[in-house]
Structure 1
Amino acid sequence: MGTLTATQAKPAARRAALVSKRLPLIIFVTLVFLFLTLPLLVVVPVSFSSASFITFPPPGYSLRWYEAYLNDYAWMAATIRSLKVGVVTTVLALAFGVPLSFALVRGRFPGRALLEQGIAAPLIVPNIVFSIAVFGFYYKLGLVGPWLGVAVAHTILALPFVVIVTTAGLRAFDRNLELAAMGLGASRLGAVMRVTLPDISPSLISAAFLAFITSFDELVVAMFLAGADATLPKKMFESIMTAIDPTVAAVSVLQILLVSVLMIAVTLLGGRVGGGRA
């Protein structure tokens, strides 16, 4: 009995030692999380304020600013435009990023390593520098203003996220499954479509989510390229500069809810797909 007790005590001691070693990291991560979420303690109450201007704490609570957002044509047009840009950006980023990921993982060609490093350039170059360069190029082509031009520029910003996530999924994929499908008569493209892509679908779902969020939340490029047709982040920025009512707080809360819902959906869908494949 004594030996059994001692044996059971060893894992408990290891867990206690592991927790004690990780305690500073846990405390640090908790403090960072609280710091990042602290603005929500201000934004959420302000969005329900009954006052006619931004004030904290609110003198009363009302849904008037959510109604103002939903009934305002300019706000709704900017929201719809941002959704269209985000969807098109996601489709284009996947259309270019997935084949590029296959080329980087399976291709053997000169400059492959340089290309793989260069994919991260949009993450390194400041958005303001990128926006100025794209504006000069778009101005010559007459593309400043149309939302499709903004979507193409956002695609460049979203492409690294798609390539990085998809590349990680491809490198973890067991290629013997694809070879087995080809051995059973499937063509190379058929094996990729029916075996490889479904197997790495959690990575593709995550990549699509990151591409959409990158576009939906982007401000600097939109300020240079959107012209008079504002996207939602640009409209929010203009509202802050020209007005002091809490409508922008209500829009911020709705944005947070949208991103949270998408994140939960991606997590559940990715887990379900991954579990089904397993």
Structure 2
Amino acid sequence: MIRKLLAFHFWLVVLFLLAPLIFLIPISLGESQFLEFPPKQLSLRWYREFFQQESWMEALSLSFRVGLGATALSVIIGTLASVALVRGNFPGRSILTALFIAPLIVPTVVLALGLYMVFLRWQLVDNTLALTLAHAVVALPYSILLVSSSLRSFDMTIERAARTMGAGPFKAFMLITTPHLAPSIFAASVLSFFASFDELIITLFVSGGQQTLPVRIWNDLSLKIDPTVPAAAVMLTAVSALLMLAGEMVRRRNEAHNQNSHNAEE
């Protein structure tokens, strides 16, 4: 009975989360320049409009550039930090870990205000590099949590064996440990990219006059009702879901591979 209630609750939550798409997809396929549900005539007009308007393309391009930059920074820094936090033994390690994952706990508006004050003092507001750094701060916890978890499950004796065979610490890490971490790094990259790509509040504070895709959607909803917005939202959701699914498939395949290897060793 309890399992049935939990299953019912689970699917109820899933339905609640997916409910907006039930309305959003038909609205995005409407022909009218006003939002209609159900649409009187189906058309891809607003999807074409999205790709034909230069302002939408500029916002999309900026989101991709900032997202890729933030992902690279968060994955590189997060991987190196994870190695230090998992393998290191130094005073203040737990405090440092808490600081790294704080962006997941601290309210976003508080973090955005703090970043805005710092960037304003350094005259970095309305700067693409500063925006990339701000997004990297938000994405960093995902890399640290995923890579750290993978590192804890790695058998260090394999790396030590490589070092006894003549490999240096860096070479042993790159050839032995990195392949084990690759699925976690990929999953961290996906999560980090979309943490940056979907970020709105911090971007509103530090972007100045620059518009990422979420900011452009926000501005359009604030100023007018543009049917291009539902089309952009549907495409953004679809791409996010596909990449999240890819990341989950890679993670599960890696878990299955590790389990099979462990069973073979036994």
User: Is TM (by shorter chain) over 0.5?
Assistant: yes
Secondary structure (helix, strand or coil) at the match of 1:266 reads helix
Q: Does 1:250 align with 2:264?
A: no
Q: 2:86 aligns with which of 74, 96, 105?
A: 105
User: What one-letter code is carried by the residue in structure 2 that aligns with 1:145?
Assistant: D
Write the distance in 2 (CA, Å) between the matches of 1:220 and 1:147.
Answer: 16
What residue number does 1:241 align with?
A: 222
CA distance in 1, matches of 2:245, 2:191: 13
Give the corresponding residue for 2:40: 59
| Deviation, structure 1 residue 120 | 2.0
The whole-number CA distance in structure 1 between the counterparts of 2:98 and 2:112 is: 21
Q: State yes or no: 1:146 paired with 2:127.
A: yes
Q: Alpha-carbon deviations, 1:138-177, whole Å to 9, x = none? A: 1121211122211100111111111111110000111111
1:47-82, Cα deviation, whole Å (9 max, x unpaired): 001111112222221111011110000000000100
- Equivalent of residue 14 in structure 2, options 33, 36, 39: 33
Partner letter of residue 206 of structure 1?
Answer: A
Residue from 224, 244, 261 that aligns with 2:242: 261
How far did 1:231 drift?
0.3
Aligned to 1:89: 70
Structure 2 stretches of 5 or more lacking a match? Answer: 262-266
- After the TM superposition, which residues 117-266 of structure 1 pair with which residues of structure 2 at under 5 Å, given as runs? 117-266=98-247
Bigger-Rg structure (1/2): 1
Distance (whole Å) between structure 1 residues aligned to residue 246 and residue 47 of structure 2? 24
Contact persistence 1:202–1:274 (CA under 8 A)? no
Gaps of 5+ in 1: 1-19
Contact 1:93 1:155 in 2 (8 A): yes
On the 8 A contact 1:147/1:226 being kept in 2, the answer is yes
Q: Deviations over 1:187-211 (max 9, x none)?
A: 1111110111111211111111111
Return the match for 2:27 from 46, 49, 54: 46
Partner SS, residue 39 of structure 2: coil
Inter-partner Cα distance in structure 1 for 2:24 and 2:68: 27
1:120–1:269 CA distance, 2 compared to 1 (3 A): closer
Aligned residue among 42, 50, 53 for 1:69: 50
How far apart, in 1, do the equivalents of 2:211 and 2:118 lie? 20
State the TM-score, normalizing by the size of structure 2: 0.93
How much has 1:117 moved relative to structure 2? 2.0
Counterpart amino acid of 1:202? P
What count of residue pairs does the alignment treat as equivalent? 259
What do the CA deviations read for 1:85-112 (whole angstroms, capped 9, x no partner)?
A: 1100010001111111011111011111
- Is residue 139–residue 191 contact of structure 2 (8 Å, CA) maintained in 1? yes
Range moving further from structure 2, 110-119 or 226-235: 110-119
Aligned equivalents of 1:274, 1:96: Cα separation in 2? 24
**Percent identical residues:** 36
Do 1:47 and 1:253's aligned partners in 2 also have CA atoms closer than 8 Å? yes
Contact 1:165 1:204 in 2 (8 A): yes
Question: Which string of whole-angstrom CA distances, capped at 9 and with x for unpartnered residues, describes residues 121-147 of structure 1?
Answer: 111111111111111111121211122
Q: What is the alpha-carbon distance in structure 2 between the residues aligned to residue 140 and residue 98 of structure 1?
A: 30
